Structure 1
Amino acid sequence: MAVAPAASAATLSRSTLSATVSGSTVTATTKIAASPAVWASLAGICARDADNNHYDFPMSAATLSTSGVTLTKSRTFPAGTYTYWACAKTDGAWTAIGATQKFTVGAALSGSAAPSGQAMPVGDLPGWKQVFTDDFTTSVPRGSFPGSAYSSKWTGYDGFTDSYGIANYQNSAISTSGGVMDVYLRTENGKVITAAPSPIVTAPWAGQTYGRYTMRFKSDSLSGYKLASLLWPTSGNWNQGEVDFPEGGLDSTIYAFNHCLNNPTHNCFWATNGTKFTGWHTATIEWSPGKLAFYLDGATLGTTTTSVPTAPMRWILQLQSGSVGPASSVAGHFQIDWVSVYTYKG
């Protein structure tokens, strides 16, 4: 009879790890392999909250083969941000397999406070201090934004054209109602109208060095329009970097980009998982010393340590035309449920 190899003789690896957040329920998937094959009394996905409390997904026994075994499990979580990773117990010992990732579960809903189905996070996170939030509880009609309700919290490009020279940035395209910021994209009197609101985190058009930036958004499918939500150097010097996420045509898929320092016409990093702009989504940029991490709907989209900016940057939620502008008949809405900004605390 063949004898299973001891755990110490096997090398464990994982090729995939992802998590999908739906309300308070998270479904996580991983693929674990072993060389040579080994029996695991428990295998799956471990998770910890910010205080290192255990929130492991349900585990099961499995034979971990050289070709890999896919494990998918779901469970509910309290609101918060969690670290998760593939793990297995072999020969009585636990092994953490591969790099850790993070997902965030929104707070429980309260009345109509979260039109998107996910409430705005409130409070600091490990390594991050929350310094700006807005869930748009005050209504301002289109044509009057920012008004007195938002003039201390928001600014934006107003009265000039976008980088393609096609669309006109106008704050008058913005309204707030029902807990949502709404940007009405359209052609009016022969002008393509968009907007580029920018949170006032420290001072108008000022920025910060490093930070965590999260927005909850959805869009109609609008050919010829795009979102380029970006971190842009406070100095205006493009050579100091540009970080774009979420970016893409509003009738297409969501991308993340990091432009190369001192060579910004080139991208040193990009990522996508094919997610469309339609439907509610949560996008997060984590910018820390030497690292950029991008999260979409609670799962890691990608990370990079190449050409990470070091100069102060401001956050602009820039809606504009695509390289080919929209037909005059194309009109629709881009909505933001809430935004949250943090400073880096290490």
Structure 2
Amino acid sequence: MGSHAVPRHRRRLLLIPVGLLLVAGFLGIPRADGAPASADACRTAAVSLPRGDCGPFWQVLAEDFNGERVPLGGFSDCDHHTDTSAAYCGGLTGRYRDNWWAYPTGWLDTANSRGRAVAGVYHPEDTVSVGRAADGDGRMTVRMWRPADGGPVHSAAVVPRAVMQMRYGKFSARIRVSRLAPGYKSAWLHYGGGCELDNPEGEWTGTLNAFSHPCGGGAQGSYPGTDDWTRWHTVSTEWTPGSVRFFVDGRETGHDTRGVPDIPLSWVLQNESALEGPGAAPGSSAQLDITWVAAYAYGWK
């Protein structure tokens, strides 16, 4: 099932090698080096951040987190113009303030409306940071945790401002769970107007899936992607008029044409307490790493 937040007071161009590898990528045939040819519009099968326009999509965000550092505490004071393209976090500065927002402290995560014994409250100020990993790679880190006294999970949902309230587009990221514990999940989604697209979604101890919930109701489309969140994966959603396609590591995992949204929606990188299985144990924590995020508008300028 898809999910969405419940506020407390209301509900770089990828440099593809020339020659045979380039031809193979565009023809969709296997590459000579054994790597799978990508099926998505940008041929996003490599590990590097893709840069530049591709197919019917033009790039509006290319973030590899290799710039300034954002320590814990930076994603604070986020209750400004919430859920609009003017939203911002007062604790951020520079390009991160320009490019990123997060659900404010105190908003309730989805588990609260599902009657779960263990639910969460959004706390971006003590869960989200940006910095260098041990190997020098820049990453956004989402470390969710539950207090030792058994209080609510501290969860996090971050939002790229460049694609807030945008109709159609392509949305890609490279992610992995680097610390695993029961009781934590992701549901990266577009939601609103009775419509919902989720990719990826799932408890981190389970499988990585995609879902489409047709506007106006009807059976959801459910598409398994991979069974291991702890490996690096590139996930992509391509949303165009009358069609949505989901991809994992360049492989198309699902396609739906039923009730596809045709209204502006925001891309929410939502991470929260689990909706299935055991709840997070007191004193536990789990961590998601994001090494790059790319987003595209639909249709040429």
1:161 aligns with: 108
- How many angstroms does 1:76 deviate by? 6.6
1:282 to 234, 241, 247: 234
- How many angstroms does 1:103 deviate by? 4.3
2:81 aligns with: none
1:312 to 236, 244, 264: 264
Whole-angstrom distance in 2 between the partners of 1:105 and 1:210: 22
Whole-angstrom distance in 2 between the partners of 1:273 and 1:339: 19
- Matched residue count: 245
Structure 2 counterparts to residues 226-265 of structure 1, below 5 A: 226-233=185-192, 237=193, 239=194, 241-263=195-217
8 Å contact from structure 2 (residues 25, 43) kept in 1: no
Whole-angstrom distance in 2 between the partners of 1:270 and 1:336: 24
8 Å contact from structure 1 (residues 103, 300) kept in 2: no
2:87 aligns with: none
Q: Report whether the alignment pairs 1:120 with 2:49.
A: yes
2:162 to 201, 219, 233: 201
Alignment CA distance shift 1:55-1:283 (3 Å): closer
| 1:161 match: secondary structure | coil
- How many angstroms does 1:330 deviate by? 2.3
2:97 counterpart letter in structure 1? S
- How many angstroms does 1:167 deviate by? 0.6
2:291 counterpart letter in structure 1? D
1:177 to 131, 146, 155: 131
1:147 aligns with: 92
Alignment CA distance shift 1:208-1:327 (3 Å): same
Q: Report whether the alignment pairs 1:214 with 2:172.
A: yes
Structure 2 counterparts to residues 88-99 of structure 1, below 5 A: none
| 1:151 match: secondary structure | helix
- How many angstroms does 1:48 deviate by? 4.9
Query: Which is greater in Rg?
Result: 1
RMSD, aligned α-carbons: 2.6
Higher percent of residues as helix: 2
1:155 counterpart letter in structure 2? W
Whole-angstrom distance in 2 between the partners of 1:175 and 1:75: 36
Q: 135-144 or 290-299, which moves further after superposition? A: 135-144
Higher percent of residues as strand: 1
8 Å contact from structure 1 (residues 158, 171) kept in 2: yes
2:152 aligns with: 191
2:45 counterpart letter in structure 1? V
2:8 aligns with: none
1:128 counterpart letter in structure 2? F
Whole-angstrom distance in 1 between the partners of 2:225 and 2:169: 24
1:271 aligns with: 223
- How many angstroms does 1:310 deviate by? 0.7
8 Å contact from structure 2 (residues 174, 292) kept in 1: yes
Q: Report whether the alignment pairs 1:344 with 2:289.
A: no
- Structure 1: unaligned runs, 5 residues or longer: 1-23, 26-45, 58-72, 85-100, 107-117
1:142 counterpart letter in structure 2? L
Between the two structures, name the one with larger relative contact order (CA 8 Å, sep ≥ 6). Answer: 2
2:45 to 92, 105, 109: 105
1:168 counterpart letter in structure 2? V
| 2:181 match: secondary structure | coil
